[in-house]
A and B are shown apart, each in its own frame.
Chain A
């Protein structure tokens, strides 16, 4: 069984798969929202999501080539990571999902912001 959808232009990384998902999301919206062209794509990428914004920028043109978002502008807003320490209860800024609490050292920090990666909006014609 071969996998026809995966990988493009000799690059194998999960950002490309995620960009293919972006393309499918905007193709779905093109039908429901009745547009034929996308000129700008805005993504919100949480700092704690396992995704590299630079890799998205790198792959965006390749994946959107031939789609209704060909030549579209890509804007990525990065969302800071925030968590609540389950031990001392303080809200903490997080650089990675696994940062211990800077106040008490506990590794049980619940992420409250920055884990998501989503298509925020599109500018369309």
Chain B
């Protein structure tokens, strides 16, 4: 009987201490918010790192004597590479993986399927705190002797596998990097397990698969990708760690002489690391972008007051992109010395992803076609998502050709491509989600005018940063170098770099508007109603913010699809999923 008393106490919110309510909470909503702020913290560091890089590229000889870790105020090439590595790692793992999936997925997946909680709340809490530890371990790499690793977010061997002899940051810094990624893998696996089980077994009565919001579909498919991909990265990370610390030769070939020392490895294969890494790395790209696709579909319908065009096709193409994502990792390795025959196979498979992607794009356009468009901040960012998805996706078709990739692979063309499709598009998805769901999460509205200004500055700014990089790349502007002023043909591209850098600083400054809006609205925003956007899905059927058990005494049941907007003959231009036919009749009679 003791447990009955326990749960009775749990129902009264005031009796749980601060630590268990806000810190070590098993509430999926609290955990979602924790993930959100973790990602926000990581993205701010990532942006600052990128600004240092952009500044250095344009003014490599500038003396920044006020920065203590630059000797004489000058940045060394190794320090630049450390910035490249940490920017990429923080952004890919701790921002693009955490924010769309772990943050918003955690908060809204149970709400949208009408569940009171995730299937395994304590695993969920463990997963967040492991991610937190992983972030601390990663950031610790900055302050250890030698500093952060220089081998890029892909940690290519043998640079990453032979230890500090390979350069500053390749000692303890690289070891911390691998440890952090290992912890992150375990956290992501636990999260994925929770998402999948929750989606399969915790849906409310009537919430069939084909009535799930497309956001839920996206989180579900993403969780499957996470589950399969992070397990492989974990195995690869263990082998890499052994090469570094136990003297094995999984990835390290024989005969490497560094600083006059012959390395004690034999017969390992750097190509093997690349295969294992990219078997994770390519699905990881979709882990970052699929939730953004889900949010975009969701928002476009809501703010066009129209059903999603081709709902079933949208769900199927999410699965198709997820499936194909596991078959194309080789397109990151066209210049690795891999067999050209495999290149052809990887090339064809890569281009075939264009088909589901094009279906999605057409369906997004079909959704807004002749809609009653309401250009609020979430809608603007979703339209922006479609725009950068198309722009970044088209350059992908060029890079998918092995012959063209041979020429473009080491250039800024690739930097432009992956930043637009993976970075900017995913970030736009995150912004759309933030503006859409902020009222639900915090019970207050964000400032709409500031949101609009934020969108236009970010949208124009992002294109100004990354469009010139296409031209730099086509002209042969190589990437990963810290100083281009020494070679004449590269120095001639400096005006483009300068434009890109100025745009980067301006766009970063525009994010201050977002930060101000976020924190100001948290305390001073106008109180939000339960359903401020007149939306149909279940998260809007409960108060803002929702109670601890999401729906209180009400056990939600679902009677229709997720996007019934502007149904002919209906009283309102939206019919929530939970309205029964009897409720509807009653509403019509009023």
Decide whether A and B assemble into one complex.
no
Q: Which residues of B contact A (CB under 8 A)?
A: none
Q: Which residues of A contact B (CB under 8 A)?
A: none
